């Protein structure tokens, strides 16, 4: 290729050979610069024995077992939160069994939940607007619970009373 180039330009084969050697030298220098540097060797660590720990005054004790905190209601089934959760599960079960009215309520519940998590405003199927974009996280939680309660109230004709 260099010979053809030199012939076109009007030079000698010696000039072509010199150009080829210069190109190869540049390529070698470039490859040498790209060569990854070796990482330093890892230091050898001394293993700590039981005698070393005893000499340092270190003793091993198992961590104390801490009981998990009890939920505020303990899943009592009597508070509004437990009743609402049980009603949402009943709506979900009815929707899975093919009840189209329950499926509509389930879609509204999922839309309401997603909008509250993302922080977007949401307008329900009945036209009620939930302004999640303008609320703090604590207020979002209260509005989401109120929306879920409203949807649970709309399930009364289908599933019966739920607040008793």
Q: Where are the domains of the chain?
A: 2-26, 80-159
Could you report the per-residue pLDDT of 22-57, keeping only the tens digit for each?
A: 889 988 888 877 777 778 888 888 888 888 888 888
Dihedral sign computed on CA atoms, order 157, 76, 114, 97:
negative
Confidence of residue 109 (pLDDT cuts 50, 70, 90): very high
More confident residue, 13 or 142: 142
What is the model's pLDDT at position 98?
A: 94
Mean pLDDT estimate for the chain = 86
Residue 12: its H or E element? none
Per the model's pLDDT, the better-predicted residue between 68 and 97 turns out to be 97
88-97 confidence digits (pLDDT tens): 999 999 999 9
CA dihedral over 77, 82, 88, 89, signed as positive or negative? negative
Distance CA 123, CA 114 (A): 12
Q: Are 22 and 28 in contact (CB under 8 A)?
A: no
**Percent over 90 (pLDDT), the chain:** 37
Taking the whole predicted model, whether its pTM rises above 0.85 is answered as: no
């Amino acid at each position: 290729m260099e010979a053809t180039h030199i012939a076109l330009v009007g030079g000698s084969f010696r000039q072509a050979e010199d150009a080829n050697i210069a190109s190869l030298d540049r390529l070698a220098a470039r490859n040498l610069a790209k060569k990854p540097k070796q990482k330093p060797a890892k230091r050898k660590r001394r293993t700590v024995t039981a005698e070393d720990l005893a000499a340092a005054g270190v003793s091993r004790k198992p961590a104390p077992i801490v009981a998990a905190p009890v939920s505020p209601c303990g899943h009592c089934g009597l508070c509004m939160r437990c009743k609402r959760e049980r009603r949402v599960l009943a709506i979900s079960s009815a929707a899975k069994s093919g009840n189209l009215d329950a499926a509509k309520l389930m879609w509204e519940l999922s839309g309401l939940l997603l909008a509250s998590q993302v922080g977007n405003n949401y307008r329900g199927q009945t036209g009620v607007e939930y302004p999640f974009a303008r609320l703090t996280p604590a207020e979002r939680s209260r509005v989401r619970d109120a929306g879920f309660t409203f949807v649970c109230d709309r399930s009364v004709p289908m599933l019966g009373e739920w607040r008793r």
